[in-house]
Amino acid sequence: MQTTCPHCKTVFRLTDTQLGMADGMVRCGVCQLTFDALARPAATEHQTEIPDFEHHLLDEPARAVIPDAFRTPARGAGLWSGLVWSVLILILALALAGEYAWFHRNQLQQQAELKPWLKKACGYLHCELEPVREPDKIEMLSRNVYSHPTLKNALMIKVSMINHADHEQPYPDVRIDFSDVRGGLVAARRFSPSEYLALTNSNTRLLAAGGEASFTLEIQDPGKTAMTYEFSFL
């Protein structure tokens, strides 16, 4: 007899022996569905085109009776499709990595192993790397606060510092905090490099690796309540 798979509509030819082995229960060789063959007889007009059921069990169904949706695509087409998708994914990954490196180049250059590559890339792209700032590696060597020799209610501040970083870096901002006897903040002032370097007649804006620098500041006297002061580099 003949039967039709209820899922993929593939038609099979079955012998009485095959039907008797499992009380009519068979497994489709195309979609692997198990069904009752006696309940799914096929139309008689397909008898001359129906393959033997044993061939279906060997995954060799006749192409003429298998629906297109269940046919295996050509191997060559699948291989080329996978190759194209792999290349596109690789290009996209490289583009994303390049975009990240471009927008974070100043942070990435702080890693010694990446800095030479970033410099070379910027040479081709005509971009500039900003100097790396590490104010925590700048140490104050000396500081001195005293009354201004010519101005009333003013103080003179002399500071010297050294750059312990292994690279040159921009001069830091300098913050001075004055506190009272209880530690309460009385006054504070922040100086940018352009402010305190202007008093030294210096044109440089970078402190060399291992380099030292000195400068003088003039500020208003915060008054007698200011008992202590503290410097910080920002």
**CATH code where residue 173 lies:** 2.60.40.10
The residue among 145, 129, 139 whose CA lies nearest residue 161 is: 139
**Does residue 79 sit within a domain?**
yes
Residues 49 and 83 in one domain: no
Which carries the bigger pLDDT value, residue 65 or residue 38? 38
On the question of pLDDT at 16 being above 80, the answer is no
Residues 52 and 88 in one domain: no
Q: Give the angle subtended at the CA of 141 by the CAs of 172 and 163, to the nearest 5°.
A: 45
**Does residue 10 sit within a domain?**
yes
Q: Which of 24, 39, 70 is the last residue of a domain?
A: 70
Lowest mean pLDDT among 2-6, 56-60, 90-94, 138-142: 56-60
pLDDT 10s digits, 195-234 = 888 766 666 778 999 999 998 888 899 988 988 889 999 9
Which of 45-49, 54-58, 230-234 holds the top average pLDDT?
A: 230-234
**Does residue 115 sit within a domain?**
yes
Residue 61's domain spans which residues? 2-70
pLDDT 10s digits, 76-88 = 556 777 788 888 8
Q: Which of 87, 106, 125 is the last residue of a domain?
A: 125
Number of compact structural domains in the chain: 3
Which carries the bigger pLDDT value, residue 141 or residue 3? 141
Residues 112 and 167 in one domain: no
pLDDT 10s digits, 173-189 = 999 999 998 989 999 99
Residues 195/199/203/205 CA torsion (nearest 10 deg) = -40
State residue 176's pLDDT score. Answer: 92
Residues 58 and 83 in one domain: no
**Does residue 130 sit within a domain?**
no
pLDDT 10s digits, 109-152 = 555 555 666 667 676 666 666 677 889 999 999 999 899 999 99
